[in-house]
Chain A
Amino acid sequence: MEINNDYTFSEIEVDTLQELMNIAFGQASADLAEVINVFIVLSVPSIKINKEESLTEFINSEIGDLKGYKIVEQSYWGKSRGVALLAFPHEAELELIAMFREDADTVVDAEMSDELDNEMLIEIGNILIGACVSKLAELLKDLVTFVPPRVISGEQLVEALVENRFESETSRVILLKTVFRINDRELSGHLFLLNNLDSIHTLKDALRAFWKQYE
């Protein structure tokens, strides 16, 4: 049997994936507005195939400087394995927490405030990531489950990525990126979805199935 070594996307595949993400994130943001009462604008997503070992560098260069960033990290399983990284700069993080805390029922204890901030970020991240990933999966006729998210600092990203190694034969990952902005506030962050490249064939099949609808 011939092994398919085609680990690249054709132009039409990239366009389809982009289109899919656009639809998925559009639906996600509409649904998010209903669920959390916050309108989130997700930018046109980009797709890249990256070497696993240069991921941190890439993410670092995408968002400027990872230092001072907090990242919500959440793994998911569907037909393929993936990790979502939601990164906010410190100021955005504080504003986001304040926004959600307005309706939280907890009184904040100064001695625990750091920890509670993290818990809050985890909750926000869980909703945002869940919305985007499951909408995308839905369009690809896939079903994903999630493990509980955790918060890491920008500096810890390298370790986290090593820990989370995809052990893909190709040591390459598919990287989907979008920038989100919240309401009319000057609040933005990045969402990265890293997928095991071993899943590329499943993904290609799903993409083919998707554009067949329009043929």
Chain B
Amino acid sequence: MIYRQVFDVINAGLVILDKDLRVCYWNRWMTKHSGIDCGDIVGSQLRDFFPDVYTKYFDRSIKSVFKFGNFVFMSQKLHKYLFKFPKNVSCFQSMQQSVTMGPIRERDNAISHAFIVIQDVTEIAAYDRKIREINIKDGLTGVYNRRYFESRLKDEFDRHKRYCHPLSLIMFDIDHFKSINDTYGHQYGDFVLKKISSTAIEMLRVNDMLARYGGEEFCCILPETTISSAMMVAERIRKNVETQDNNFTTIDASATTTTTSAKVTISLGVSELCEITNTCEHLLKKADDALYTAKREGRNRVVSMSLF
């Protein structure tokens, strides 16, 4: 096959299968990444070498190639990869792949074979993830940023309203943060922000979402949560921050022997989706008002939204 001269040097995997899904061709790129020689795999069922490839999706795709002559574009975002090849790039342990499948026809147009082209997109996927992260996360604390919070709140709000499911919001703020900064310096202030974020994260479920809303202000979205449960979560966060005073100890960077330790507390306001909070802004405002009440009543406490 004279085309082999091209197929064996292209920077992509190329596999050709017959109707029984036996391998008819396996290019050098595939050999390089799988460690399997063309001569060893040709004539065998692909399944014998790669049982993991046979997902329902693959089955559906290859059938639609043979049945309709479809071209199938398998995205990395949805499927990560088709063939599991080791590759370590930042957060990925396997090569991320973008895959195209399509029919090969005989002279009479009948489909006799299918081709699979595999492209390595690991680097692009890693950049993509990095950019996404920069875009939605707060650089200092690693929790979500305000912009992403607002778009998620809108989605959750719409979803919960549509299905009449409960949805709660906790807004909290570090007490006397300005004086912490003034007394111990901004680096220590940053340390406190990070510490508070990680403490709060530990108290939340996977589906909850924590974001840095402003300078020292944070917001949590609690899907499928009534206000009474949200109050309990808020109280747990408050208590954990309060009793953690030793954890707010940091080793001073300039003189490794001295430490800085401050008593840090937070105030929290909680709101829930209901008739009086029928817009996102209102839900936020109610939590913010409750937070303000907590501050006014002496800080280091949780206050539930007023029903008026």
Which residues in A have some Cβ–Cβ distance to B below 8 Å? 28, 31, 34-36, 103-106, 110-112, 115-116, 119-120, 122-123, 126-127, 130-131, 134-135, 143-146, 148-149
- Chain A contacts of B55 at CB under 8 A? 105
Q: Is the CB of B57 within 8 A of A134?
A: no
How many residues from B make CB contacts under 8 Å with A? 27
- Which of the residues A110, A115, A116, A122 comes within 8 Å of B73, measured between beta carbons? A122
Closest-by-CB residue of B relative to A120 is B78
Identify the 7 closest CB pairs spanning chains A and B, nearest first: A130-B70, A103-B56, A119-B78, A148-B73, A35-B63, A134-B68, A131-B68
A111 CA to B67 CA in the complex, in Å? 36
Q: Is the CB of A131 within 8 A of B148?
A: no
Q: Is the interface of A mostly helix, strand, loop or mixed?
A: helix
- Chain A contacts of B105 at CB under 8 A? 143
Task: Provide 20 A-B residue pairs closer than 8 Å at the C-beta atoms, listed in order of the A residue.
Answer: A35-B60, A110-B207, A110-B209, A111-B148, A112-B77, A116-B77, A119-B75, A123-B57, A123-B72, A123-B74, A123-B75, A126-B71, A127-B60, A130-B70, A131-B64, A131-B67, A131-B70, A135-B68, A143-B109, A148-B73
- Chain A contacts of B152 at CB under 8 A? 110-111
A126 with B67, Cβ < 8 A, contacts A36-B60, A103-B56, A111-B132 known: no
Q: Is the CB of B77 within 8 A of A115?
A: yes
A106 CA to B96 CA in the complex, in Å? 14
- Chain B contacts of A115 at CB under 8 A? 77
A196 CA to B109 CA in the complex, in Å? 24
Residues facing A in B168-220 (CB within 8 A) are 207, 209
Minimal beta-carbon separation of B163 from chain A (angstroms): 11
Which residues in B have some Cβ–Cβ distance to A below 8 Å? 55-57, 60, 63-64, 67-75, 77-80, 105, 109, 132, 136, 148, 152, 207, 209
Q: Is the CB of A145 within 8 A of B71?
A: yes
A122 with B75, Cβ < 8 A, contacts A31-B67, A111-B148, A134-B68 known: yes
Closest-by-CB residue of A relative to B70 is A130
A116 CA to B75 CA in the complex, in Å? 10
A116 CA to B78 CA in the complex, in Å? 6
- Chain A contacts of B78 at CB under 8 A? 104, 106, 116, 119-120, 123
